[in-house]
């Protein structure tokens, strides 16, 4: 962690870890490789995605490593590209897909948990600090994003968050009527 937004170069250790893990997939069957992608490679990223908005280049690099892990040793290259790049790979297995996690959507969902904590004014030090320092007399979604790179990245998801959230008017601290 630092005071500036991490660049793709700063996240190379994470990408190398994923590449190293995916390199041993050639000894596994197809179902073993799919299980490796879903239960070993993708969860490595969860910790970073809970905290930071991963740059697009990191997502692309890791997707490339997951695709190579899954399709290593297959001779039907055309089928590989269609299955991985199409929406079928991200569908749940029950819906006929491969059940592979969409990194960008998962990253957004994990970061939106912070917005929920913020609006519900949970008893966390960072929530109290942001409310008192930046939004004492303002509604957060009506003003321009202020604060650190981390908070600005999270507030960019505010429109998406407000589209999926249900508000209940209570004492008026976080929902105005």
Per-residue pLDDT of the chain (177 residues; tens, 9 = 90+): 567 788 888 888 888 888 888 777 778 887 888 888 888 888 888 888 888 898 888 888 888 888 888 777 555 554 544 455 456 677 777 776 777 888 888 999 999 999 889 888 889 998 898 888 887 776 666 556 677 788 888 888 888 888 888 877 777 666 666
Contact 2, 51 (CB under 8 A): no
Tell me the CA distances in angstroms from 85 to 67, 79, 90, 91, 96, one per residue in order: 9, 10, 9, 12, 15
Q: At what angle are helices 12-22 and 56-71 packed, to 10 degrees? A: 10
What is the reported pTM? 0.76
Give residue limits of the domains in the chain. Answer: 8-101, 106-164
Please report how many Cα atoms fall inside a 13 Å half-sphere around the Cα of residue 35, on the Cβ side.
5
What is the predicted pLDDT for the residue at 125? 93
Residues 32, 124: Cα–Cα separation, whole Å: 41
Helix orientation angle between 56-71 and 77-85, rounded to the nearest 10 degrees? 140
Number of neighbouring beta carbons within 10 Å of residue 115: 19
Q: Within its chain, how far is the Cα of 21 from the centroid?
A: 20
Closest CA to 55 of 14, 99, 91: 14
Q: What is the pLDDT of residue 78?
A: 44
pLDDT at 21: 80
């Amino acid at each position: 962690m630092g005071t500036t937004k991490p660049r793709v170069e700063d996240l190379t250790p994470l990408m190398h870890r994923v590449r190293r893990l995916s390199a041993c997939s050639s000894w596994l069957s197809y179902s073993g490789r799919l299980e490796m992608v879903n239960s070993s490679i993708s969860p490595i990223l969860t910790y970073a995605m809970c905290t930071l908005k991963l740059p697009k280049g990191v997502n692309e690099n890791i997707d490339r490593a997951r695709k190579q892990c899954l399709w290593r040793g297959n001779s039907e290259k055309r089928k590989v590209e269609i299955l991985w790049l199409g929406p079928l790979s991200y569908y749940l297995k029950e819906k006929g897909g491969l059940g592979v996690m969409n990194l960008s959507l998962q990253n957004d969902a994990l970061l939106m948990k912070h917005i929920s904590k913020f609006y519900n004014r949970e008893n966390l030090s960072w929530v109290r600090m942001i409310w008192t320092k930046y939004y004492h007399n303002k509604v957060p979604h009506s003003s321009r994003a202020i604060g650190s790179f981390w908070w600005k990245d999270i507030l960019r998801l505010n429109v998406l968050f407000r589209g999926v959230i249900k508000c209940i008017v209570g004492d008026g601290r976080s929902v105005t009527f």
